Amino acid sequence: MTATSSTPRTDLGVGSLRFLLAGLFAGAGLIHIAMVPVHASGPLMDPLLFAVAGLIQLGFAAALVARAADREILDAGIAANGVMVGLWIWSRTVGLPWGRNAGSAESFGTVDGITVALEVAAIAVALFMVFAPEHWHLPELSAIVGGLACVALATVVIIAPETSQHGRNGNDGAATAASGEHGHTGSTPDAIANEMLALDESRCDFGFNPVAYWDEAASLNIDTYGGGMMDMSMMSASGGAAKPLPMGGRGSVKLDKLVSLTAQADGEAAAAMLVSELGTASQEEYDAWKSWLVATGIVGGHSEHASASGDDTGGHGGHVGPHPWTAITSKTDCNRLKAELTLAKTVALKYPTAADALAGGWSRVTGYVPGIAAHYMKFSTVDGTFDIAAPEMLLYDGGGPEARIVGLSYYMIHPGTAEPTQGFTGANDHFHRHIGLCVGPGGVIGDSKTTAEDCKARGGAKQGGESGWMNHVWVVPGCESPWGIFSGGNPILDSELAKQSGKNDGACAGSGVLDRYNLKAGGRSAGYSGSGNQASGKG
């Protein structure tokens, strides 16, 4: 009998290796089966592939235990495991073309590392069984113990905490975060930092916000990985000497005004006044205000600052400061979002002045409001459909016909309290509502906090607005928001910008706070410098 015979081996030494080989197959198969529910929240292809791989490997294990190892079983096992190892290498180098992380290389983890090691060992044992000299012997008990050890190793991997979190680290973690299910793997700053660093290696979304956004988010403990679900406060609170109190703890009249307006910023008027006052605050006062935001928990921390979803409190979308951001690691999703934002920018630049908007069918519905600009609305396009190429509102830096475009706003009719699902690719654009505005001739003449009596005295009437959902998109070059491309309010839209309306070429050049956010020439484009990297403790 030769090593290439298709009949079963009868040699005790090599034949006993089938028990070790069965253990290797069973170990890898059990881990694959355990990964099915972990990947069930993604595309069907992901859990399906894990299930198929696991069942194939368990099938080989059963065949090897039930009968002697013939050439056909060994050849098929080598081929099947070879394919699985090849797919794993593909996924960790350039990225598979399908599944939740299509087109993105995934990071190496302990779970998949042990699984691949079992598969490579199975290939090696099977090849040895095919080509080993027939006089080679291994006690059957040793082979059985080795096989059981492989199954035991797989069992340890399956019950380990990292397995339940697999898919929440590296690429898979970002994809899970994008679906609103992200949670960090540990409760220590090091564990959170490691998770963020893994995401940083694979994400492709840094360029959608200006550098100032990442810096502001890092300084305010805003989660830019899990969309508000990760507690970033632990990162700044750990280690190091205690930071000195802002302004020596003395405060100022301006800081008190900022604090007071922030507490009232659920109303449109107070939110606008806050942006206006921030525009005239010194850098020391601005930094002290940010420290107060963090200390009081109004901004930063955990999921309380997750999004503007469901907001019905007016203001500038329900939040002060940068919005949380959910990391995007899928190159396909990044390319789609890039194309969508390019289209939105193209539409905005077709109407460079308010006069162009009026000629195109938009009507002015608000004067200039710091933080959100002047709104021009095209009522004929208002419906329940989101269309990037047909924004219902255009935003300008002043109320005159010479005012320059600063951004877009989409407006949808959507009954109920649940945020619309339509929008841009990803989980970062949120709709908000303004309920109870005072509307009169020419548009809005009072915010949602205006009483019915005051509104009537102004010649208007309170409007419901419960079904009206809107989101802002700051895609105009030079007017990128340091609080995020989809932020409810944009702090560079200060009172000084309105004073300069029509006196320059636009692009928010008249704003008085461009230096604060490094948005003057050379620093105005979207991008990422690394200075806002929360994982490395910078920012």
pLDDT of 41: 58
Decide if 115 is inside a domain.
yes
- Predicted confidence (pLDDT) per residue in 505-523, tens digit: 999 999 999 999 998 754 4
Pick the last residue of a domain from 123, 143, 166: 166
Cβ atoms 192, 137 nearer than 8 A: no
- The H-or-E segment that residue 345 falls in is helix 331-349
Looking at the domain assignment, is residue 139 inside a domain?
yes
> Average per-residue pLDDT in the chain?
83
3-state secondary structure 58-121: HHHHHHHHHCCCCHHHHHHHHHHHHHHHHHHHHHHHCCCCCCCCCCCCCCCCHHHHHHHHHHHH
The answer to whether residue 155 is domain-embedded is yes
pLDDT at site 10: 41
Greater confidence (262 vs 528) lies with 262
Over range 390-418, report the average pLDDT.
96
Least confident residue range of 81-90, 267-276, 308-317, 385-394: 308-317
pLDDT tens for residues 36-80? 887 775 678 888 999 999 999 999 999 888 876 678 888 999 999
Count CB-CB contacts under 10 A for residue 361.
12
Does residue 271 sit within a domain? Answer: no
3-state SS, residue 338: helix
The residue-averaged pLDDT of 79-83 equals 93
Q: What is the pLDDT of residue 254?
A: 95
> 123 versus 246: which is more confidently predicted?
123
Is 315 part of a structural domain of the chain?
Answer: no
Considering the domain boundaries, does residue 337 fall inside one?
Answer: yes
Where does a domain end: 137, 166, 195? 166
Residue 432 to residues 291, 350, 447, 486: CA-CA distances in angstroms?
26, 26, 15, 11
Return the closest-CA partner of residue 41 out of 169, 159, 179. Answer: 179
Name the domain count of the chain.
2
User: Distance (Å, rounded) from C-alpha 325 to C-alpha 532?
Assistant: 13
CB atoms within 10 A of CB 82: 15
Last residue of a domain, one of 166, 190, 213: 166
Q: Which spans in 467-534 are helix H?
A: 495-499
**Which one has a higher pLDDT value, 106 or 302?**
106
Q: Which one-letter amino acid corresponds to residue 516?
A: R
Which pair of structure tokens corresponds to residue 218?
A: 């890092």
Containing structural domain, residue 377? 332-499
Percentage of residues in the chain having pLDDT higher than 70: 79
- pLDDT attached to residue 476: 97
